[in-house]
Amino acid sequence: MTSAATLYGLAGAALVGIGLYGLAVQAHVLRKILAFNLIGSGVFLVFGAVAGRGGGAGGGDPVPQAMVITGIVVALSATALAVALALRLFRETGRVTLPPDPPAGARDG
């Protein structure tokens, strides 16, 4: 039987994998922001699993728990900034996707 910490770690790794896939494949800016949040949530879940596994009968190591709480606050702030920038992109260009990369020869200018 697997422990809860192992299941949390595997779920966190799955969230990171899905987030990386979405970040690489999606062209829509809001979907990229959501994929980035999935990556962060997976990392938080893995940190929580590590904190729960390292503790004894007293509950767990408080340092990873404090890092997760701080990370959640920072992730919320970064998400708000990213959504504000996506809104500005939409107002300036009328699109919610990033422009495609120019061909390699056109960049040398």
Q: Convert the pLDDT of each residue in 19-56 to its tens digit.
A: 999 999 988 999 999 999 999 999 999 888 887 766 55
Task: Tell me if the pTM is above 0.95.
Answer: no
Q: What per-residue confidence (pLDDT) applies to 57?
A: 57
Q: What is the CA radius of gyration of the chain?
A: 18
- Measure the CA–CA gap between 59 and 28, rounded to whole angstroms: 41
CATH number for the domain running over 4-95 = 1.10.287.3510
Q: Tell me which amino acid residue 19 is.
A: G
Q: What is the pLDDT of residues 76-101, one digit of tens each?
A: 999 999 999 999 989 998 888 877 77
Across the range 54-62, mean pLDDT stands at 64
Distances (CA, A) of 49 to 5, 35, 40, 107: 5, 21, 14, 45
Domain ranges of the chain: 4-95
**Residue 3: phi, psi to the nearest 5?**
-80, 165
